[in-house]
A and B are shown apart, each in its own frame.
Chain A
Amino acid sequence: MDRLAKRYLRSRKIPGTTCSGCGLGQVHKKVLLAIEQLGLGTKDIVWGTGIGCAGRQIFNTWKGDNFAGTHGRVYALATGLRLALPEERKIILTAGDGDAFGIGLLHLLHCARRNLDVTVVVADNFGCQSTGGQYGCTTPRGYVTDSSPYGVREPGWLENGLDILDMLRDAGATFLARHSSFEGQSAVDSCAQAIRHKGFSLVHFIYPCVTHFGAVSLQSGDKARIFRWFEGLFRPEAGNSGDPRFRSGVYHDAGSSRPEFASSLKEWTRTVRREAAGRD
């Protein structure tokens, strides 16, 4: 067994149940490498997951404490949990594109507004793949999926001048990064920065689904060709094919410019308590 798996993962969940060729394992590995790089142990982190491929496959892989929330609400669960946990305990949430940017976007934005100290890892496979390959809010326009047989007719969060990370930045997120699952150390570094960051951090990983998006939308059973297509999304020089193009790396780092929600609420509570005790 891989040293990371041995140290951080539950043997019962290894190997995982992802499809052959799925990029989710690579995303998970980047986060684990970052945890190792930071020298954190299993008791330092509580790991939450959402619904869909990313949530179901990652749930309870972590050797420490785990929870899997209802669809899109794991951010609200984490808000309460953050207040209950000691400040040094980390919360990492792994969720899919539908969970974070679709059904759970309201809660995600409010976590950003509050600058809640959590690290959200969005594992984006361009749609609802766990249910068999329907389009979602990050599926590029025009592509055929099982629920868009004539091509996706609505604009996604990642094209036509829209970028979900812009919205999260404007909502108050203090650390944002984007990578593909193919990237190496640069992605690990972003994850490490995100986990170390005290405040709301989010790393948006785009990874290939070979079973549905690859087979139906890209009409290819050739994994190498699917991988190249995904890699191409991160090469702006690849020309204007109509597909979205992304820059990888840290997108936004506001450091400690905004107070973190839970620690400032705890500090304020201590102040109120002291003053009340003084008056009584």
Chain B
Amino acid sequence: MRKLFDTGNAAITEGAILAGCSLFAGYPITPATEIAENMSRRLPRVGGYYIQAEDETAALHICIGGSLGGLKAMTATSGPGYVLYADPYGWAIGSEIPVVIVNAQRVGPVSGITGAPGQGEFYLSRYPTHGGNFETIVLAPNCAQEAFSMTVEAFSLAERFRTPVTLLADQLVTDGWESFEIPEDAEELRAAGLRVIPRYVHPGPRFYPFEDALDVPPVVLGCGLGGACSDWTPTEEGYDTEEREAQMQHAHRLIHKIRAHRHLIDRHEGYGLEDEPDIVLVSYGSPSRVVRSAVTEARRQGYSAGCIRLQSLWPFQDHLFRRNAVYLAVELNAEGQLVREIERAARRGAHFFGTCGELPSVAALLEAVRRLGEGHAPEPARWEREAW
């Protein structure tokens, strides 16, 4: 294993290179710019291409165009660019084109504070485009090591499921400097639990919809196989059609190819759950590291507490929220997004602790656990107490 001390952005770059990425198109944006810079340096050395696009819409389209020609491709951005992906994201979902998308979330809305972390695109990553009738795959790292490994996994999932995969990171993960290790040969790769899937070419002439089958190679153009893909509802051969039956089959494919194989996507980390705690804190990304410290301290102080860290966000892991416990969602936003999904999955109310642009403190989370332990709501946010 090669040991590095660098940023999460550098870890993502290394993961992409290891996974065989040979095209990166992006538009610089804090705090993901460094990924573009690193890719511009690394890619030519492995025979890949870096393109600085005119905007994010073009960036993801260029990536998809490259993937359509057989190149593994990735783009990286933050919230303001992620919304501009809506158009190509949908095209890639519908045409089933593998591509990896990194979102280093920062606080918003709109430009917000460029150098402060946020978690505002939880739902946007579930619904990154219009039209419905699809599931998305979203992974969420909380450290540089995981940023590396999840990037490798994102490429594998994109190939196997024929779909875009979002790596939903945040500014603290991408900008933070940490140690991480990179496998140097196939054996170390296997030992790290990682797998690199090569690009296979679909031979045609039937390109869609394959019900919920996994590992169907994507359409690759330029081989003269009569490949066809479009923004329209496809027939099996890729012709555009207005048949409702074809639309139903297309929707079924896009939804169930992911739902039927979700065991390959689902991942989480639990702590203290074995003793059926009364209070379970739920988080993902960088706040999960503070949550872990707070829960460790709470347990030391005698509270019945545990935590769940989601490593994959979508499809949402409903089965994790069937415990007889009080759930507290800890998020880097002030309105609560993850908490709504927990409430849906648990089929009852859940509590929320949000911060805006900065991590919560261990002390504040401990106080929230104390209040929950006494049957009160967690401490309301300061602005709620003071102004209104």
Check if B44 sits within 8 Å of A76, measured CB to CB: no
* Interface status of B20 (Cβ within 8 A of chain A): no
The residue in chain B whose Cβ has the minimal distance to the Cβ of A44 is B224
Check if A60 sits within 8 Å of B231, measured CB to CB: no
In the complex, identify which listed stretch (B8-16, B64-72, B289-297, B302-310) lies at the interface while the others stay far away: B64-72
The residue in chain A whose Cβ has the minimal distance to the Cβ of B225 is A65
* Interface status of A9 (Cβ within 8 A of chain B): no
Chain B neighbourhood of A110, CB < 8 A: 54, 58
Prevailing SS type, chain B contact patch = mixed
Chain B neighbourhood of A252, CB < 8 A: none
Check if A83 sits within 8 Å of B66, measured CB to CB: yes
Q: Per-residue 0/1 for A77-96: is the Cβ within 8 Å of any B Cβ (1 yes, 0 no)?
A: 11111111110010000000
The residue in chain B whose Cβ has the minimal distance to the Cβ of A63 is B226
Check if A67 sits within 8 Å of B229, measured CB to CB: yes
* Interface status of B180 (Cβ within 8 A of chain A): no
Known A-B contacts A60-B239, A269-B48; the reply to A85 vs B222 at CB < 8 A is yes
Chain B neighbourhood of A43, CB < 8 A: 224
Check if B229 sits within 8 Å of A76, measured CB to CB: no
**B binding-site residues for A, Cβ under 8 Å:** 23, 25, 43-49, 51, 53-55, 57-58, 61-71, 73, 87-88, 90-91, 95, 221-232, 238-240
Measured between alpha carbons, how far is A13 from B63 in the docked complex, in Å?
30
CB contact list, A165-215 vs B, under 8 A: none
Chain A neighbourhood of B70, CB < 8 A: 84
Measured between alpha carbons, how far is A265 from B44 in the docked complex, in Å?
9
- Tell which of B46, B58, B240 touches A60, judged by Cβ atoms closer than 8 Å: B240
Chain A neighbourhood of B23, CB < 8 A: 80, 83-84
Chain B neighbourhood of A85, CB < 8 A: 69, 221-222
Measured between alpha carbons, how far is A270 from B66 in the docked complex, in Å?
18
Q: Tell me the number of A-to-B contacts counted with CB atoms below 8 Å.
A: 150
* Interface status of A68 (Cβ within 8 A of chain B): yes
Closest Cβ–Cβ distance, residue B258 to chain A (whole Å) = 22
Residue contacts A-B, CB under 8 angstroms, 11 given: A49-B230, A60-B230, A65-B227, A66-B221, A67-B227, A73-B87, A76-B58, A79-B61, A83-B23, A270-B47, A273-B44
Chain A neighbourhood of B221, CB < 8 A: 46, 65-67, 81, 85
* Interface status of A272 (Cβ within 8 A of chain B): yes
Check if A65 sits within 8 Å of B71, measured CB to CB: no
Chain B neighbourhood of A49, CB < 8 A: 230
Known A-B contacts A56-B240, A76-B61; the reply to A84 vs B231 at CB < 8 A is no
* Interface status of A70 (Cβ within 8 A of chain B): yes
Chain A neighbourhood of B51, CB < 8 A: 79-80, 83
Chain A neighbourhood of B45, CB < 8 A: 272-273, 276
Closest Cβ–Cβ distance, residue B103 to chain A (whole Å) = 19
* Interface status of A258 (Cβ within 8 A of chain B): no
Check if B66 sits within 8 Å of A81, measured CB to CB: yes
Chain B neighbourhood of A68, CB < 8 A: 229-232, 240
- Tell which of A12, A46, A276 touches B222, judged by Cβ atoms closer than 8 Å: A46
Measured between alpha carbons, how far is A13 from B232 in the docked complex, in Å?
16
Closest Cβ–Cβ distance, residue B91 to chain A (whole Å) = 5
Closest Cβ–Cβ distance, residue A104 to chain B (whole Å) = 10
Measured between alpha carbons, how far is A63 from B43 in the docked complex, in Å?
35
